[in-house]
Amino acid sequence: MFVRWIPLGNRDSTTQVSFQKDFIEKSQHCLKPTYRLIARLTNDKTKQLIALIITRLRTMATAIHVVDEATR
């Protein structure tokens, strides 16, 4: 996945929003193979750990979007 750095001093909200939406969409796309991997795993503790990590990643991606919306 290609990630573009946006400096904190950049106040161009259009660029930041499009970057964040693009990042969220790409991260969701990257997680799909991980879900297939979880389905094949037999160890329940490993499944729980990976599911927790994915949930945390989604929460962070959502938080980035919410914070951006709140700062407008």
Main-chain phi, psi angles of 41, to 5 degrees: -70, 145
The predicted pLDDT at position 3 comes to: 47
CA pair distance 44, 42, nearest whole angstrom: 6
Per-residue pLDDT tens listing for the chain (72 residues): 444 544 445 455 555 556 566 666 666 666 666 666 666 666 777 777 777 888 888 787 777 766 666 666
CA pair distance 28, 72, nearest whole angstrom: 25
Model pTM score:
0.35
CA pair distance 62, 64, nearest whole angstrom: 5
